[in-house]
Chain A
Amino acid sequence: MLPNIGFGSLVITLIVSLYAIVSALIGVKKNLYKYVESARRALLLSFPLITLTALCIIILLVNQNYEVQYVYNVTSSTMPLYLKITALWGGQAGSLVFWAWLMSIFASAVTLRRWDRDLDMLPWVIIVTSVTLVFFLAMIIAFENPFVRFWSVPGHGEMVAMFQPQGGRLIHPMDGRGLNPLLRHPGMIIHPPMLYLGFVSFVIPYAFGMSALITGRKDDRWIRLTRRWTLVAWMFLSIGLILGSRWAYDVLGWGGYWAWDPVENAALLPWLSGTAFLHSVMIQEKRGLFKRWNMILVILTYSLVIFGTFLTRSGVLSSVHAFAQSAIGPMFFIYIGVTFIISLAFLIKRWDDLHSEGIMTSLLSRESLFLVNNLLFIGILIVVFWGTVYPLISELLTGQKVTVGPPFYTSTTGPLFAALLLLMGVAPLSAWGHSTWKTLGKAIWIPGLASLILLIILIVSGVRSVGALIGMTLSSLAAFVTIHEFWRGAVARHKRSGENYLVALWKLTARNRRRYGGYIIHLSVVLMALGILGIEVFQTETQGRLTPGQSLSLAGYTITYKNLDVFDVADGRNVARAVLSVSKNGKNLGELYPRRDFYYDSQQPMTIPGLRSTIEDDLYIVLVNWEQISSQGATFKVFHNPLVNWLWIGGFLLVIGSFIAAWPTPEKDVEMITKKVMNREYGKLASKSS
């Protein structure tokens, strides 16, 4: 019953979304709003319909209906309730439904806004979001149906089908296979939804960009309308990436957080183009430059979002040959290719309309530095893309499959990230339009001096790694410049209004949320850079086999092995847990419990490190092996990861900064002026289209 309701609801959503596309097209063709309104309502209907489908899946998961293949694959009876619910995105079919559900929420939200001034864009926004939705629904219905069940058919044996085959009886397995234990981690439960929220919200700026292209609007209205969407998308994507890294750090037990794996790269790519977009739209808003470039960026981001959705969940990335194996692979590629080409065709059609309203004059101007920022981000994107597809290219060209490992990525993106850090220090001080070395030098000398002093302190204190020295100096410069900017603003405000410094700082930020929110994000990036430098450059490790009472030392810590217990836990795990006491310079710091969980249902072991985390450093201990009965010896691997906590602290700050930057501005007067301009623009374009 439930599977049929869920599946039926999916099919109805597909039909309704197709209707929305057709009706919106008719509305444009006949220039009649009632058709567009009908399309809008159809799109709004998709949300309750997909919600129903998602609810059906969740009820099946919670009720342990193992006759449904998806439920069988991702849950088992030992899993707690919250994991059964979140198993909705534990497999590919469910996560595609989840994706479509988020898409329907965002599409509904965007069509519910007041459209009076931008009515000409509405039908195209409906069409673009609906086409995306239709594609995902079609993929789910045709290839990844979460409601297919196990049937036993006389004469044919067992089979998997949506509807009851002739004479078929449902098979009810006793228990499911259970969610992969590696995925049973809070970070992994929130990570996919965050990533998906980011992916899906990037569809909205793309939809507006396309509607601006199609309707022939030359202004930056689409950018202003979607500024907040872009920022929110970017924030979710960032949270998703950070949580994914945290998960890898906590669960995978190899002392790192990022391995330049194709799955990770696939999620990073849209983030890179999205970050470039976030910066370059400001040039169009302020100076009317780079209109074409912004279109290219938003189209690229959309394609990468679809690509990322596919790669992160399908498990086909280890080899590209695997794409051919599932029908869904070629479909995704065709969809990405077709939408990309159509989008570019629209852009080329409007190419001449989107000329810049001015030119850049000064190399040190803000817009010029933004351009460099964009080149660097796209450069990193190309590096990551190249590394991901290199095995394919080499195989095509030479017949010999050649791959590049993590060292390729670190040594290639390292200088580019360093250049970005430098830009982060310099660009906030440059002026729009025209800047000279002199004005820039005046603004930068105090923060510059401060980072120079830091550099000397670092060298004196014995830091010899060139990479670390460059990285620390550049990130400190960016931090000092940003803090100095806050300081200057607060002092000026204090002098003008007599408010005390804290109030001045608060009001300063509140009145220029976008700017100071952006600065806070910059600071968060500096903190993250600090954490990354700490673990990449200063990580040390040791390993050894200990019998109770013996110790290992690393970076001033002494780790003493006390004992080890092996026991069963009620949720279907066998746990081997070691007790270690940790001390530093003779001071006792408590105990750590690295362990190995063995999951009976999936027959898979999982290594959970013992972690002592401070803002200064992390002590990360992995239980490698143990002797069951005899000598009670056990082997440990110990990592010392300096400063890595700042990576996660920076992540929190990034969210705060994004919220500040995205918070609606109360200043009405600014809004009024744009309204006037827009009304005029709109009138002109409306007459053109009629």
Chain B
Amino acid sequence: MQVTDQKLVRKGSQKKFIFGGILIIAAIVLLIITNTKAGAQYFLTVDEIKDRQNEIIGKDIRVSGAVLGDTIEYDTHNLILQFDVAHVPGDNKEIDAQGGLALVLHQAVMNPEANRLHVVYEGVMPDLLQNEAQAIMTGKIGEDGVFHASELLLKCPTKYEEALPEQSAQS
């Protein structure tokens, strides 16, 4: 009798641990799901943005492009930075097939036919912003087709042999 009692107690006590554990796991899963939905940013290329401009207005977008050096304008009074980027493929395999990042960036800048995107960014001009650098921007597209970047990362293919955290190019 006593033994069965003990067993019952044990069974019951194990249940509460399983219940508690499931509760915690469920909470974590819920957190992940809701925050993933809220924080999702779409990776698009300049071409894709031009194609789908109307449906993506106001959404969080991440886009990369080749910086056109001549178009860089920096208003140092208000810290407003503007420049144009030319389309580069979003897929690294494709970039490699076309001869590597440096060449792709160079060709994108030289090609007058390539789609271009005007970018406005408020803040400090990053050290690496220069002609033929790859700009990776996060932000939203306005109805006027201008990309308002809230975050700006830059990569220069020749200088980034080392693995540097991406934030190194951030400002």
Contact = CB atoms under 8 A, between A and B. Distances in A.
Contact of B13 (A92, A361, A624): A361
A545 B163 contact: no
A408 B35 contact: yes
A321 interface: yes
Given A412-B32, A606-B127, A252 B163 contact: no
Kindly name the residue among A317, A376, A404 whose own CB sees the greatest number of chain B CB atoms within 10 A: A404
Nearest to B122: A543
Contacts of A383: 28, 31-32
Q: How many of chain B's residues touch chain A, expressed as a range?
A: 35 or more
A604 interface: yes
Contacts of A633: 76
A360 B17 contact: yes
B74 interface: yes
A637 B124 contact: yes
A622 B148 CA distance: 23
Interface residues of A, number: 75
Nearest to B100: A325
Contacts of B28: 375, 379, 382-383, 416
B96 A402 contact: no
A230 interface: no
A449 interface: no
Contacts of B138: 405
B8 to A, nearest CB: 13
Interface in A396-410: 400-405, 407-408
A363 B162 CA distance: 49
A252 B40 contact: no
Contacts of B128: 604-605
Interface string B7-21: 000100110110011
Interface string A287-321: 00000000000000000000000011111111101
A321 B142 CA distance: 31
A91 interface: yes
B39 interface: yes
A211 interface: no
Kindly name the residue among B40, B62, B77, B167 whose own CB sees the greatest number of chain A CB atoms within 10 A: B167
Nearest to A188: B164
B32 A386 contact: yes
B161 A321 contact: no
Interface string A149-183: 00000000000000000000000000000001011
A73 B161 contact: yes
B164 A317 contact: no
Given A405-B41, A622-B124, A411 B35 contact: yes
B99 to A, nearest CB: 13
Given A324-B93, A405-B41, A545-B76, A261 B125 contact: no
B144 interface: no
Contacts of A252: 167-168, 170
A105 interface: no
A412 B35 contact: yes
Contacts, number: 165
A575 to B, nearest CB: 14
Contact of A315 (B62, B151, B162): B162
B21 A371 contact: yes
A10 to B, nearest CB: 22
A624 B74 CA distance: 11
A361 B8 CA distance: 12
Contacts of A390: 36
Kindly name the residue among A90, A317, A401, A606 whose own CB sees the greatest number of chain B CB atoms within 10 A: A401
A411 B159 contact: no
Kindly name the residue among B10, B28, B77 whose own CB sees the greatest number of chain A CB atoms within 10 A: B28
Given A321-B93, A635-B76, A407 B32 contact: no
A625 interface: yes
A625 B162 contact: no
Nearest to A412: B35
A137 interface: no
A73 B124 CA distance: 30
Given A363-B20, A407-B38, A604-B127, 18 more contacts: A182-B164, A182-B168, A359-B13, A360-B17, A361-B10, A375-B21, A376-B24, A391-B43, A403-B41, A404-B40, A405-B39, A411-B31, A416-B28, A543-B123, A624-B124, A625-B76, A625-B125, A633-B76
Interface of A: 73, 90-92, 180, 182-183, 248, 251-254, 256, 259, 261-264, 311-319, 321-322, 324-325, 359-363, 368, 371-372, 375-376, 379, 382-383, 386, 390-391, 400-405, 407-408, 411-412, 415-416, 543, 545, 596, 602-607, 622, 624-625, 627, 633, 635, 637
The 5 closest A-B pairs by CB, nearest first: A408-B39, A401-B43, A315-B163, A259-B167, A321-B92
